[in-house]
Structures are given as C-alpha cells and as structure tokens.
Structure 1
Amino acid sequence: MAGLDPRAHDQRLSPPELITVFKDCLRRESAQLVEWFRAGVPAAELIRARSDFMDELLGACWNRFLGPQAEQLALVAVGGYGRRELHPHSDIDILVLLDGGSAPEGRGHAGHQPALTAFFHFLWDIGLKPAQSVRTVEECIDLARDDQTVITNLTEARLIRGSAALFDALESRIGPEHLWSSHQFFEAKMAEQTARHAKYHDTAYNLEPNVKEGPGGLRDIQIIGWIIKRHYHSRNLQDLLRQGWLTEAEYTELIQAQNFLWQVRFALHVLTDRAEDRLLFEYQKELARQFGYSDPDINQAVEAFMQRYYRTVMGLERLNEMLLQLFKEVALHGDLDVLILPINENFQAVNGYVEALTPEVFRQRPLALLQIFLLLQSNTSLLGVRASTIRLIRQHLYLIDEDFRRNPEACRLFMAILRQKTGITQQLRRMNRYGVLAAYLPAFGRVVGRMQYDLFHVYTVDEHTLFVIRNLRRFALERYRDEHPLCNEIFQLIEKPELLYIAALMHDIAKGSNLDHSTLGATIAEEFCVRHGLGRHDTQLVKWLVQNHLLMSMTAQRRDISDPEVIHEFATALRDQTTLDHLYLLTVADIRATNPNLWNSWKDALLKELYLATRWAFRRGLANPLAQTEKIITVKAESRALLKRLGIADDGVERVWKTLNDEYFLRNLPEEVAWHTVAIIACPPDQLPLVLLRPVSQRGSAEIFVYAHNQDFIFAHSTAVLDQLGLTVFDAKIITTGDGYVLNSYHVLEQSGERIRDHLRQAQICAKLRECLVQPDRAPLRVQRREARQIKHFAVPTQLHFHEDPQNRYTLLELVATDRPGLLSKVGQAFRLCDVRLYNAKISTIGSRAEDIFYITDRSNRPLTSAADRRRLSETIVALVGSQ
C-alpha cells in the first residue's frame, strides 16, 4: 500500500484537521484495494497488505494519543486481524494490555483511561469502529480460562505497538501447559464446529452459502489452524506440510481452496461495500461474471461458478475431516494404549477405526476401495476410517477405471452396500465425500456440486440425491414411524429396497445435460442395472421409476384427483400395486429432500389420497373402473350417514341438495358435504355471506367455506384477502347452485406451511373475508404484502396454455408465472373482465414459479373454445400479472 499520509504525524494539526487526514488515508487505502483487486491482484496479497496498513495507522494513532504511556501498555491485534487477514470490511479486533502490577488495583486503569478514551474516540471518529477490549494479563487469563472463544482469539494475538515484555507475559501464560490443554481445546473446537455446521443443516450445499461460517468454509480452515497452532506453537498452515501432516498435493489443495474462498469473500465485500459473507442470489450473477464464467444463458454461468464453489468446499470438508481425525489419532491419543484387531487381509481396526494394513493395499487389491465401506456397514462397532487410510483412498481413486467398474466383483460389492440393513446413507455419504462414488459412477460425478439456479432446489444435485436415500431409509425404521406412518407401513411390503435406492441414486443423475433428465436418467439407470446383474423385471421397474419419478407429484398437484377417470388414467400408467408402492415412497422422499419448506400437511394428504384411491382402483380391477355416477351415489350415501349421526332432518338436507349438481358431489368428500350442508341449513338468508373456517380438513389444510349470493367478484376479492393475510391457497372449488348461490371452498395453510392453530387468527380471517364480501366496492384488490427478496432474481416469463377437458365439460387453463403477491386475485379479475366462469383451481408453487391450473367455461357454462376468447383472456391476464 502507499502508506500513511505524512501529515498523519504532524503534531501541529488541529483535531478536526487530523480526523480529515486519517479519513482520507482510509478512503484512499480502500479505493486502492478495490482498484488492485479489479486489476487482478490476488486477495491473499491484499488482505495482508490491508492488515499491514492498519498496523501503521493504528501505530500512528497509538503513539499520538498515548504519548509517554505508549511503551507502558501493549496494543495487540487478535482474531483475524491477528492472523493478518483483513478483508475490506473485516472486523478489526484489538486488545489493549495493561500492566496490572504497576499500581494498586483500579489505579492502573484509571491512570491510562483519558489517553485510551481519546485513542478509541478518534478511531471511531475516523470511521474505523474497531472491536476493542482493555484488560490486564490476569484479566485475560481469567476470561480465557472459562471461554474457549477468548483463548482462541488470544492464540492469534500479535503485538502491534507498545510493551513487548507485557505481550510476552501474556504469551507465556496462555499455552496449553497452563490452561486449555490440547485435548480440551480440541474437544471444544470440535463441539463448536458441530454446532456451527448444524446451523447450516450439516451441508455446505445451501443455495445461498456462507463463505466464512458454512461447512467447508473459511472457518473450517481456521479450526485446523487453531488446533495445530495451539498444540505445536506454530504460526501458519505451512507447518502442516513441514511436520508431515499434509502431503504436497493436499497442502496445495488446501491453499488453493483458501485462496479461492478469499477471492470470493473479498469480492463480496467489494460488491456490497459491507462485511457480507453470504453468497446471496443477488450477488451470484455478478460474481460469476467477475470469475470469468460466461454463457448466453446467465443461469448456466451461475451454476458453473457455484459448482466450482461447492466442489471447493467439499474438498475442504474432506481435508478438515482427515486432519482433525489425524490430529486426534497422533497428537491426542498417540500416547494411549493402542488396540489393534485384525479384520481381513486388507484391513485392521486401530482403536475402533479401519486402517489399511499397508500403503500398498489399494494398489495391490483395488476392490478394497469398495470393500472398506461394506466393512463399516457390516461391523457397527467400527467408528470410522483412520486418517492415513482416508488419504490412501484419495490417492488411489485413479484405480477406479472402466475395467474396475465392469468387474463383476466390484458390482457385487456395490450392490452389497445397497442391500445392507444399516449404514447405507452414512456410507454413501462417506463415499461421496472421499470421491469414490463419483469415480465409480462418472455420471454421478458430473452432478457433484451442481446447483440449480432457482428457489425450488435448495441443495446441489448430489446432496439432494443423498437426502432422498436418507428419507427412504427413514421410512424403513420404526423410530421414524411417527413422521410417515403410511410410508413405514408400505416400506415393509417392499421386497427389494435396493431397487428404490438405485432409483433414487439415478432419478436426477442427468440434471444439467440440457436434455430431458428423466429420459436420459432412465437410460443410465438401465445400463447400471444390467451391469450389476439385476433381472429384467427389476431393471424395468427401476427404469420406469426414474423415467416417471415426477408423475405422482404432478398428478396430485395438477389434476383433479376427485375425478375417477383421472385415477383410472393414473393407475393404468402404473399398471400394478408394486409400482404404486415404489413410486409413492420415492415421491415423498424426493419432495422432502428438494426443499425442507416444500413439504406440508396439504402435500402429505394429497399424495396419500391419490395413493389410496389408486390402490382401491387396483383392488377393484382396471377392467372395472369406478364410474362417476357410482362415486356420486357413494358420496351421497356416506354424507347422509354423517348427517343422520348429527341429527339433521332429511327434509333440510333435501332442500339444500336439490340445488346442487352432480359436479359438487363428485368433487367433495363426504365429510366436506356434511359440513357444508349443516352450515347452509343453519344460516338464515339475511346472515349471508356465510364464512366459516375449520382448521384441519381431511386434506391436511384449513378449509375456508364461503356461501353467498353469486357475484363475479367473489373469487378475486377472496383470494386478495387471503393473500394479504399471509395465507397460501392450494385449492379452490367454485360451485354455483341452481338458485343463484355460490359455494366456494379454499384449502389454505400459513405461508410457513403450518396449519392455522390460533383461534383468534381463525376468527380474524373469517371476519376480514366476510367484511370484504359484504362491501366489495370498498375492498382493495391490490395486495400490499411484501414480495420475497429473492423473487426479483428468479422472474418467470408468464405463459398461458389452454387444454381440452377429456369430458368436454371445461377448458383447462394452465398458467405459469412469477409467484408474486396478489397473483390469484389478478387472475380472478381477468376472469371477471372476460366473462369467464371458474369452477376449480389447482394451485402449485415451485420456488418463485407459480404453476396453476384453472377449470373454466364461458358465461353459458361451455368450454372456452373460441380462439378470440382465449386470446382476449390471455392478453388480459398478462396485462394484470405482467409478462414476467
């Protein structure tokens, strides 16, 4: 850096002039940092240059304000500043050491207080805002004794100015021989890392990762440094190489990863002009450009940049695990009795950890690269893999070539891993972490660290895949039965669970290929099954599951599953109960692994309803499908039985039902019909509109029921109110009676996916909705709810598609658009303006993308077949909701 302005040392400057000089110095230094960074100077050089500049600036301030006292105290850099790692907006942590023995208690502090107060005030006046503390050596020791974060900070301490003797006195008393032994410090840092990783769901592959704190981030490198430095009194990571902890290749990987993350973090600070360590969506496009990733499709460029990021942190996670395991073995437990137990001709157990018998094991017997994971599964007393053996696995990945993959014994070992009763998820994760899974399945290797730039998929493809397998495993275990009782029950019927795991492993393996990932994935799955000796029937089942893994979720969320013909069509596509069982389990596991916020009671109930209806169709026989008339008769009979138990007279029931058409009984469950009927009978005409809410329906959501005189505004106003109240609408049924009334049902949940549990909240919803319907002219149609921050980065072009209803009752309008506040209300307004009647709505939101299906007719209750009418409706919707 250029250094301080000479005027900074001019004793003649007035305080305001001095503040101006130092502010100018800081401004020039910051501008020069940015200029050099943009010119290509590595962040590794710049963060040290900034630290050196800060030493000079603080030293000048120290000498000016402390004067003769400057050598009686010590100005110490701690934390990242102590490591000489200062990004543009990093915290500047400083400690002022006092000589506690130079005066009676309290007087030493008081004697220096005016000068220190002036010093700190000046730093704040010039905009530095340091994190500061003033303590004696004894006070530092007292704090460090009970707080591992304090001892960690002191481990990084570096003298800037002042008394070297005072600083040495501190250094001499914070070693592991005095407090926080190496073992205690190691255990504390491991617990801290475990807790920190848990905050990020134990995965580095979040869509908006934290470069500093997330798993595999800079903090994981610092953990290694702190532990090694404390044990060996070393000062930098190069000591890991000199002392044999890392090979040259591993040290190079560590430093390159650290430098890359420094580049990313530095770029974030420059881009945001603040201490920002999160790779938020709004920064990813610009950073991809800065790092040289270009593609006509900017999303592809972002995905390529983020794949580099994820692969980098995955490598750091692996190095972190290996080094901490090695430290535990050598430095902490090296002097303990070693218990060695033979396992086989390749491995032994050393204090419970698997170790290769010789460094030549994998070169001489490459299949041991798979055998080790099977050993860990079959022997649950084994705790993990010795660090030296992790290193050997990484060094011998090149042996997993095409000949290896086609070796029948390798195929047998891999299938044996998938067929074990325990440890499948754990060992597949370990295989992925060590690079074995990518080497054995090259197609899987291509999706390692691959993100999808949207709000729907919150994990990388490989991480999502392993979460799917984890979910499937949980279905098999009794201790997780309460999470998904039906899934647990069905899993017990699965004869070969490994087929499910293969389908899960393959279902997204072709993501990013620019082809239909389901079709290409099915081809890859078929080749895998043939190579691994699966029979024709099993191969076809796996291939079908991969090809159709989205079929059940799409049918449940986008089709009217109350229609027997939809159920029959779905059942015909599946062909048999076995396929249904496998697809249901895979679908639930897949949705739950895509985004933790996507799964809710509505999806659970909807998929369960589709599963049970299809199972009944198979039991009835596909050659004997349920007719609509038969279903209507059944619904009416079951509804009457419920009403009889409630003591409702038949004449009242008949008075209500005679105004309802068959469509109503086809699309509502018996308990819904009974609830509606009781409500209508009990409501005098002068009390309309009637608005009721029951917090839990059979479909897992709250149901809001509206009974009112038919008016065109009801859907638009109702959805506007529900949206404004922070509710998510999943389904809307619009029934018009023969005598001019409407029965509207809305299935809703809170935006968080939770049910509406609070009674006051339920009353508020009903009151607000009724108020809107009573005074429609005063009801605002514009939703004022704030749009999610990420939405603007994932705008979806508005698309409208018209489809014919097989029964020729409606026209199906498919709307794809950005899911912005008020979307449904605007669509409702468009229907009103275009004289279109709405009968049913299936609402589905995938990240920022709304995919809604509307069942509509014209004013005369006929399908909307006119090209002119369709064009008018399309133009009106686009005008109201926007083109994207």
Structure 2
Amino acid sequence: MGAEIDLADEEAAGIFSAHRIRSRLAHGGHSIAAFRETLKWGSERLNSLFHEGMPADSLVHARSHLVDEVLRTSWQKFLPDSASGLALVAVGGYGRGELLPHSDIDILLLHRDGALELHRTALEQMTAFGWDIGLEVGQSARTVEECVAEAEKDITIITNLLEARLLTGDADLFRAMQDALTPDKLWPVKAFFEAKKAEQQNRHRKYDDTGYKLEPNVKESPGGLRDIHTIGWVTKRYFGAQTLGELRERGFLTKQECDELFAGQDFLWRVRFALHMLTGRHEDRLLFDHQIKVAALFGYEDDDHNRAVEQFMQLYYRTIKSLSCLNDMLLQLFEEAIIQPQPGVEPIALNPRFQVRGGYIEARTDDVFQRHPWALIEIFLLLQQHPKIEGIRAQTLRLILRDGRLINDHVRQSVQARTLFIEMFREGRGLTRNLRRMNRYNVLGHYLPAFGHIVGLMQYDLFHTLTVDEHILYVVRNARRFAMQRFRQELPFCSQVMDRLAKPELLYLAAFWHDMAKGRGGDHSDIGADEAERFCLDHGLSHGDAALVRWLVKSHLLMSLTAQKQDLSDDAVIAEFTRAVGSRQRLDYLYLLTCADIRGTNPALWNNWRDSLLKELYNLAARSFERGIDNPLQAEERGSEIRSKALVLLAAQGVGAEQAEAEWKRFEDDYFVRQSAEELAWHLPPVMAVQEQDLPLVLVATIGGRGTSVFIYTRDRDHLFGLSTGVLARLGLNILDARLHTTADGFVLDSYVVMEGDNTPITQPVRFEEIRTALRKVLSDPEVSTIDVNRRVSQRLKHFNTPTHVHFSQDDTRGRTILELVTADQPGLLSIIGRVFQKRGILLNAAKIGTIGERAEDVFYVTDRMHRPIVDDGTLHDLREVLVRTLDRDTA
C-alpha cells in the first residue's frame, strides 16, 4: 500500500500515458521487438527522471503503470474478447502499484472451472511471449475456491491477495474473490493483526532487532519498507482502507506524522531504485560496493570530518529510526484498538504526571510535557523503577515524539532533568532498554546534543559493525550484563570483578561516553573525556567520581591496545601499563569497560583468545599493584613460577623434575615466560620422546580455553615461518598469535594460536588431524620453499583501500626491533611477510596478529641473523620500502 494515487491518472500516467504506450506497441505491429523496445524506452526514461530528482513515488507507480499497459496489450494480443471466466490480477507489491526497475512482477491468473483448459494454448503463448520480451513475471493460477483454501493456511498468501488489483478480464470473477476474502469469512482482523505483528517480530530477529548494521536491507531490515507495508496491510484489513493516507483521515496519524511517513517511504524507495539501477538486478541490500555509488547519486561529497558515504548512511539510519518510531506508535494504536480495547479500565496513578492503564504507562494529561519538559526523562526512569509495566501507550508515545524538541538548554540545566537522568544510571535495572527507548524516540539526542550528533553515524569499515549510537548502547548493555545474575555464566570472571565495584554507575557512564565525541575531528578520547567530566560534575557527581569517568573515557583503548599489540611477557610492558593505570580500582573499571567495548564493536572480535589476553594482562597488573608499582615482578621470577607449576603437571604425566630440567636446559629463558604452565607440560613429553627421523613434530590441541594451539618442533630451516603460516592460511585459519623460539642446538619451538576463518573455535578432532597432517607434509619436504595460498580476497575486502604503513621502534631491554605493520588484510598475509623477512636475513622472534575488519594490524619482534636488533637506518628504510611495495602490489 503506497501513497494516494489512482494508477489510471495522476503523475504516473503523465509519465507513461496509456495512449502513448499503446501507440508505441501498435506502431511496431505488436511484435516482440516493439514490446522490448517499449520496455527499454520506459526504463531509460525512468532512470533519466531519477537523475532529474523526480520523487520516487512517481517513479515506482509509473513503472507499475508501464507494466500494466504492456500486460493488458499482451492479453488482448493472445486472448479473444469473448474469453470469459478469466481475470489477470496484479498481487503483492505489484498489486499496490509499486514497482522498482527490477521488482518482482507477481500476477494471479484467476479462473473459473474449465476456463483455464479452454484457453490453455493462448495462455501458454502469452507466458512465452512475456519471457521473449524480457518481462519476468511470477505467475500463479487459481480459482476463487483455491485462493480461499490457500489463504486460510498461509498469512503470506492472504496478504498478497489483500493487495490484488484487476488488470483486465472478468471483473465479476475478481469481485467474487474479493468478497470471499473479507475478514468476516477468514482471517478476522484480530487474528490477522497478531499474525502480522509476529511476522514482523520474527523478521526483525533475523536482523538482530536492529536496522543499523553495516550493510542493511532497505526492504527487510527493521525500519525498512517492509515495516511500512505491515502498517498498510493492517490498515487495509482493519479499515478496508486503500491508502496509508486514510490513517490521517481516521485520526491515527497527524498531518506531520503522515508527511514523515511518506517522506521516509519516498527516501527508501529512492535508495532502492538507485540500487536496482546501479546493479541491473533486484537488489535490496546496501552492500559496501553500492554505498559509495548511491551516496554519489544522492549528491554527497567528502568533508573534513566525514566521508560522503558516511554522511549518506547517517541520513539512511536516521530515516529508518524515524520510521521505526512511527511503526511502534501505529502498531501500539492498533493493539489498543483491535486487541485490547479497554475503555472502562481504571488507571493506577504513579504520580501527578503519569499513570498505568492495562499494563501500559500513559500521561495523565496531553500537555504534561509542555508544562514539565523534564517529564520526558521521568517517564523512562519510571519504566525502570516499575519493570512490570509493559510499555508506553500510543497516545503518550505520540506526545513524546511531538514534544521532544521542548528539551532546550533551560531544561538541560534544570535540577529536575539532571537528577532524573543520573538516577537512571544509579538505578541500573532496565537502563539499556530505556536508553534505547530514549534514543529511538529522540529524547536522548534532544537532552544530550553530543549524543544527537552521533545518532546514525557510521564508520565506513569492517571493524565497526554498528552505528556509533547503537555501539554505545550495546557497550552499556554489555556492562550491565556483568552485574546481572542471569548472565553470570556468560563471562564469569567479569562478573566477579564487577562484584568489587563500589559504584557500578561509573562504569555505565564511562561506557555511555566513551565514543560520544566521534565524527567531530580530533582525538575522540580526549574530547569525550573533557565532556564526560563536565557532564558528571553538572549531574552532581563528586570530583573524584568525575575524574574516574574522565580517565576511563580518555583511556578506554589502553588495555585492548596493550593486550593485543604488545608482548605481555615483557616486564617493561607490564610496568608501563601498571603505571598508566595507577590503581587497582581503575584497573577493575578499565578491564570491564574494555571487555564490554570489544564485545559491542564487532561480535567476531570477541573470542577465547582475546578474553585470555585481557585476563592475563589484568592478572599481571593486579599482581603488580599487590607487590607495589615500584617492585614489579621480574621475568626470572615469572619464568620460575611458570616452570614450577608445569613441573606439577608433568609429574602427573610421569615426568620427573630432573628429567624436565635437563631437557629445558636447551631452551632459552624467553620460552618460559611466553608460554603457560599448561603449554609447557603439553610440549615437553612429546619433545622428549620424538626421534629425529620422525620430525617435524606437530601438536594441535585446545589448551586452557585460549583458542587452538599449534606447536611445531623440528630442526630449524629456511622459510619455516612463511611455510607454516602459508599452510594454516590455506586451511582457512586465522592466526592470532605466533611465538617462535630456537634452541641452542638448532631446533625450533614454534607456537601459533589459530581459529577458524569466521573466528569460531576449532572443536572437531578430525580438523586437528587435518592441520597436523598438512603441516607435517609441507615441513618435512626440503624442496618446498613457498606456499601458494590460493584463497581469493573476499568481496567485502575489495571495497576498502588500506595502504601499507610500517613503523619501527627498539626494545632495548630484550635486544630486538619492533616492527608495527598496518596493511590491507588478505589471504596468506603472514606467509608473504615471512618470505620478505627470509630474503632480507631477518629472524622473527614473535608476532602479535590483529585483524581489525578490513585492516591487518600486526606487530613483529625481529632481529638480524646474529640475533641483534636492527638499528641501521638504511636497512630499516629498505625493509619498509619492500614491505610497502610487496603488500600494496598484492592487494591492488
């Protein structure tokens, strides 16, 4: 159901008058060529009008009008005027008169018994003709009785038939079908509404109940065109209405709301039209490779802070947010009118401004927000404090949407508003749900202009999978879950740390503010920290609490960057991190904020490996605070402790301490601080037992819940890192960590942590054996020096340009060079880098591997062949040049 138009006239007929279409077809002798040429002419004209800025509703109705005339003329070409008992009926979106350039054209051949057989030859010829002229039609043939029988069983079929429109043929037969499908005969209004509401809920769940994903579906995602269709279907079934405009006539929508609904629909139609035009096919997904082109079609250009595509997508996300609000309100109105009419139910007063009726909160007067604008915040706090309230009544929701703009600086600075808002964070319970409601209904953006700025703001990369506002609310949600009993098994250690927080609301506030300053230029952590502190002080927090929130916002990336990019076996790294944090209290808050942030940025980022890294850094820092920052744990002490724990585990396997220590004499000290006790105990017995003719030794297992560990023990040889990583990449695995050691007598102890390509754990023993066998085959063949990964760069990665950057620094304490690399992710990346290192005579000591969406951000710890740091500027310059040249060439 679309905007108010009669397909026989109005602007659609003005673009393609029936007379002009028929004349073109007749002039060509009703030949296949004439029909094909007419359809091509129509498509080109519509594309031209799109570029000229014609409203999309005119374009989609004009396309439908063109197809109408082509089908009617085809009918007349093949069926005699005397053909009775047959009707050509448009159904579904085509029945609504809404066709995009490549929309499905669904028709129903309605027939009486016997008529189909009588005219079968002519109908078959007409169907074949449709394919010949390039009109792909989805066709079904049913009698009225069959329509009724199918519609009774399937809500989708009754919905399609509800929008049926007679194109040509037996009008009496068409009316008979319409009469047979009325609500008094099947699918009563109440049952129809409940089915459509459930259908929408199920559809939304498929998209994780958010339309704010990186590549939304314009039609099916929450807030998309299908939500408008749902309103239209219920309207038609309830009122018998033909257009959405009748909702205004019946008092369900104000003029402003009606205008907003049609403007949103027109925008989405225009986006969908652009997608069909650009791709030359039916395409409803705003994929990465389309977004930039659509943004250009809409006239956006890059500016200093945001790219054109980000500006366009922000408009898209804000549009679907507005449409979601209207969808919420209208479905609630229908719910109250159709399902729960309660005119005689007595309300229960909550306070002088609000009451509960039938489980829903409502304003006691229509001017409550006009008299008390701060009550726009109070209603959401009341929902938190009374969790049994199911929601907001539709009329009150309308008042919220109408009066949100009344929140001005005077209201923002009022004691009432500030007290109510900060109390939401102290209440905790229901915080996320009601912040989401406040965002959905525009109250949050009105109260905090900084939040309003990032509503719908996206970052054009594969790392951030949500808009900034949605991400922030997901991080708050994750932080809240640490405090909730029913989620304690999700991340038990985080819940234990959460129990120690004296003021959980400070964590929620830091989560709420941590990315608030994005999209404004400058360092968002610094800008956000200043604003967060000012907010806290304005809302009555102490200077100490405000300072903690400020520090958390400013430092919210500190722990993740340290854990994922630095060597946690390095005493200096732990000491520097501990000094930056400053106290055990800050460590607790920062750890929880970091976990919540990573899990809310990209679901694929959080895995057992990152969990274990953060936990390891937390425990090392916590222990440092216990000992005193000026008395850090030394590498020798850590190594000794790990060895002692490993000896206990080895004893259980029948390996004595003397045997273990004798074997360990061959291994360098670094080996013992860069492995866990469980890994030492796993490595040693097979290393002691293996004969040289049986090398390479390859072990694969899941150790300590850190992901899958791959351990290689063999004689050192050229290309070993490149070969090993090449094999793992060819198996479709992601490498998360690499630790490389060489014994004094020329053997290597190389360890990798890997996961499947989609970042899921490896669980099947057959997969372990596949990895082991593939590595042994390649590493035992001295003739193999390179591995061809033969994996294509994914379609999504092709749309991002990440030039290679290389930065060097020196680790003076451990005598090695740190090479930080940012480049485009690609299959076999580490194998390519390994070949460069080998050719340049560079030894790799360890690697921290980080794939952030389309970007690889890796850190390598290297030396020259003599195990010395690389300090010569010329050598470093040459290495940088060859890496940039090699990697940018391979990703071009």
TM-score (norm 1): 0.96
CA distance in 1, matches of 2:205, 2:750: 44
Shift of residue 123 of structure 1?
A: 1.2
Aligned to 1:825: 831
Select which of 43, 49, 54 maps to 1:41.
54
CA contact (8 A) 2:22 2:73 kept: no
Select which of 6, 15, 21 maps to 1:4.
21
Aligned to 1:338: 345
- Worse overlay, 616-625 or 313-322: 616-625
Q: Is 2:89 the partner of 1:76? A: yes
Aligned to 1:769: 775
- Going from structure 1 to structure 2, the CA distance change for 1:716 and 1:159 (only over 3 Å counts) comes to same
CA contact (8 A) 1:845 1:851 kept: yes
CA distance in 1, matches of 2:564, 2:757: 17
Aligned to 2:69: 56
Structure 1, unaligned runs of 5 or more: 101-106
Select which of 357, 367, 375 maps to 1:360.
367
CA contact (8 A) 1:717 1:776 kept: no
* RMSD, aligned CA: 1.7
Select which of 347, 368, 379 maps to 2:354.
347
Shift of residue 631 of structure 1?
A: 1.6
Q: Is 2:256 the partner of 1:249? A: yes
Select which of 542, 546, 556 maps to 2:549.
542
SS in 2 for 1:811: strand
Shift of residue 723 of structure 1?
A: 0.6
CA distance in 1, matches of 2:327, 2:413: 33
Aligned to 1:27: 40
Aligned to 2:5: none
Aligned to 1:800: 806
Deviations 1:667-697 (A, max 9, x none): 1222212222212101001111111111x12
SS in 2 for 1:796: coil
Q: Is 2:482 the partner of 1:475? A: yes
Superposed, which structure 2 residues align to 1:521-670 within 5 Å?
521-650=528-657, 652-670=659-677
CA distance in 2, matches of 1:478, 1:562: 35
CA contact (8 A) 2:305 2:520 kept: no
CA distance in 2, matches of 1:434, 1:97: 45
Shift of residue 529 of structure 1?
A: 0.5
Shift of residue 8 of structure 1?
A: 3.8
- Going from structure 1 to structure 2, the CA distance change for 1:773 and 1:297 (only over 3 Å counts) comes to farther
Aligned to 2:7: none
Q: Which amino acid aligns with 2:107?
A: I
CA contact (8 A) 1:713 1:776 kept: no
CA contact (8 A) 2:85 2:115 kept: no
Superposed, which structure 2 residues align to 1:391-790 within 5 Å?
391-650=398-657, 652-694=659-701, 696-698=702-704, 700-778=706-784, 780-790=786-796
Shift of residue 298 of structure 1?
A: 10
Shift of residue 58 of structure 1?
A: 0.5
SS in 2 for 1:207: coil
SS in 1 for 2:796: helix
SS in 2 for 1:729: strand
Q: Which amino acid aligns with 2:377?
A: L
Shift of residue 581 of structure 1?
A: 1.1
Q: Is 2:872 the partner of 1:866? A: yes
Aligned to 1:104: none
SS in 2 for 1:190: helix
Deviations 1:563-592 (A, max 9, x none): 233222212211111111111111111111
Shift of residue 808 of structure 1?
A: 4.7
Select which of 66, 74, 87 maps to 2:79.
66
CA distance in 1, matches of 2:303, 2:712: 49
SS in 2 for 1:527: helix
CA contact (8 A) 2:32 2:133 kept: yes
CA contact (8 A) 1:63 1:70 kept: no
CA contact (8 A) 2:569 2:635 kept: no
Shift of residue 9 of structure 1?
A: 4.5
CA contact (8 A) 2:850 2:858 kept: yes
Q: Is 2:852 the partner of 1:846? A: yes
CA contact (8 A) 1:5 1:21 kept: no
CA contact (8 A) 2:22 2:69 kept: no
CA distance in 2, matches of 1:881, 1:699: 33
Shift of residue 619 of structure 1?
A: 1.9
Shift of residue 562 of structure 1?
A: 2.1
CA distance in 1, matches of 2:144, 2:342: 33
Q: Which amino acid aligns with 1:853?
A: V
Q: Is 2:135 the partner of 1:128? A: yes
CA distance in 1, matches of 2:174, 2:555: 68
Aligned to 1:274: 281
SS in 1 for 2:264: helix
SS in 2 for 1:75: strand
Structure 2, unaligned runs of 5 or more: 1-15
Shift of residue 790 of structure 1?
A: 1.2
CA distance in 2, matches of 1:806, 1:486: 35
Q: Is 2:387 the partner of 1:380? A: yes
- Worse overlay, 359-368 or 272-281: 359-368
CA distance in 1, matches of 2:346, 2:224: 35
- Worse overlay, 642-651 or 575-584: 642-651
Shift of residue 858 of structure 1?
A: 0.8
Shift of residue 18 of structure 1?
A: 2.5
CA contact (8 A) 2:722 2:786 kept: no
SS in 2 for 1:459: coil
Select which of 97, 107, 110 maps to 2:110.
97
Q: Sequence identity, in percent?
A: 48
Deviations 1:223-245 (A, max 9, x none): 11110111111111111111111
Deviations 1:478-534 (A, max 9, x none): 211111011111112112111111101100000111110000000110110010010
Shift of residue 852 of structure 1?
A: 0.4
Shift of residue 623 of structure 1?
A: 2.7
Shift of residue 699 of structure 1?
A: 5.5
CA contact (8 A) 2:24 2:38 kept: no
Aligned to 2:167: 160
Shift of residue 297 of structure 1?
A: 6.9
- Going from structure 1 to structure 2, the CA distance change for 1:699 and 1:519 (only over 3 Å counts) comes to farther
CA distance in 2, matches of 1:355, 1:550: 42
TM-score (norm 2): 0.96
SS in 2 for 1:96: strand
CA distance in 2, matches of 1:319, 1:679: 66
- Worse overlay, 143-152 or 568-577: 568-577
Q: Which amino acid aligns with 1:67?
A: P
SS in 1 for 2:792: coil
Shift of residue 655 of structure 1?
A: 4.0
> How many residue pairs get matched?
873
SS in 1 for 2:307: helix
Select which of 822, 847, 857 maps to 1:816.
822
Shift of residue 607 of structure 1?
A: 1.0
Q: Which amino acid aligns with 1:829?
A: R
Deviations 1:66-101 (A, max 9, x none): 21454431111111111110000000010111124x
CA contact (8 A) 2:305 2:519 kept: no
SS in 2 for 1:882: helix
Q: Which amino acid aligns with 1:567?
A: I
CA contact (8 A) 1:182 1:332 kept: no
Aligned to 1:103: none
CA distance in 2, matches of 1:462, 1:700: 31
CA distance in 2, matches of 1:25, 1:395: 47
Shift of residue 806 of structure 1?
A: 4.2
Superposed, which structure 2 residues align to 1:109-148 within 5 Å?
109-148=116-155
